[in-house]
Amino acid sequence: MSLSLYKKKRSFNETPEPKGKKKSSARSLKFVVQKHDATNLHYDLRLEMEGVLKSWAVPKGPSLNPQDKRLAMMVEDHPFDYRNFEGTIPAGNYGAGTVMVWDEGIYTAMGFEAEPTKKQEKILLEELKKGDVKIVLHGEKLKGAFALVKIKSRGENAWLLIKKEDEAATDKDVTKKDKSVKTKRTLSQIAEDAGGNPREKKSLTKKTPGPVQLLNNRSNKKARVKKKSTT
Ligand code: MN
């Protein structure tokens, strides 16, 4: 699969996101879930297949409850090394905001765990084409069997992410676990370490303070008082 759409959407002289070479892990298939504080907060589920990361944006995030059917919008393939990207995408760029590596691990094709990785990958690509992918995740937060099912009536990109019944199923909200699996940081800590939330910065430069904001601004008040006393 091609990364041309991924590359087309990004200015690599501005964003720290990987440029993307095709590469893959040899012995097992990797997955990542990135929490992405963009215009709308969402989670990006990415599954390694044929050297790239097949990607779905999940607005409500994954659930370990088999009762939940989570909408998952398929997006463009991402480069394999995107799985390690944690940081901020500058304002004005595609997907501007903060990205956290929320969960990661290896995954297998459900029912074919004993097959060699190459064979599993082939099966997964066939399932992807059919719009019915069954996987077992071995992450730190996400474990057990999941199905990704294409919604036939809702255009090209709409899928559902559904947990299957197994010992990892629970009605506890897994998105309450809100720290990076890589660095144990929260989204706001990641943004802070990168020099601030790019989305807030953008709104600050655009916003001109109104009269109420000026009155509430202490340093502004002080400045006025100082001016008075010198005159
Ligand atoms: Mn995203």
pLDDT of residue 119: 96
Residues in the chain, overall count: 231
- Ligand 1 centre distance from Cα of residue 106 (Å): 20
Looking at residue 18, its pLDDT comes to 87
Position 211 scores a pLDDT of 42
Structure tokens given for 71 = 């909408």
- SS3 assignment, position 8: helix
Distance 17 CA to ligand 1 centre (A): 12
CB atoms near residue 33 (< 10 Å): 26
Q: Which domain holds residue 172?
A: 4-230
Cα-to-centroid distance, 101 and ligand 1 (Å): 11
pTM: 0.83
Going from the Cα of 93 to the center of ligand 1, the distance in angstroms, rounded, reads 12
List C-alpha distances in Å: 136 to 59, 130, 146, 147, 148: 21, 18, 6, 9, 11
Low-confidence ranges of the chain (pLDDT < 70): 1, 22-26, 201-231
Residue 201: its pLDDT value, please? 65
Give, as one character, the DSSP assignment of residue 174.
G
- Give CB contacts under 8 A, 24+ apart, made by 56-62: 56/148, 56/159, 56/161, 58/161, 60/175, 61/35, 61/174, 61/175, 62/33, 62/142, 62/146, 62/161, 62/163, 62/174, 62/175
The pLDDT of residue 202 is 53
Cα 38 to middle of ligand 1, angstroms: 7
User: 209 CA distance to ligand 1 centroid (A)?
Assistant: 31
Pairing of strands 158-163, 143-150: antiparallel
Total structural domains within the chain? 1
Given a contact cutoff of 8 angstroms between Cβ atoms, the answer to whether 143 and 168 are in contact is: yes
Exposed e or buried b for every residue in 61-81, given b needs 16+ CB within 10 A?
bbbbbbebbbbbbbbbbbbbe
pLDDT of the residue at 20: 79
Can you say whether residue 87 is alpha, beta or left, with left for phi > 0 and alpha for psi between -120 and 50 degrees? left
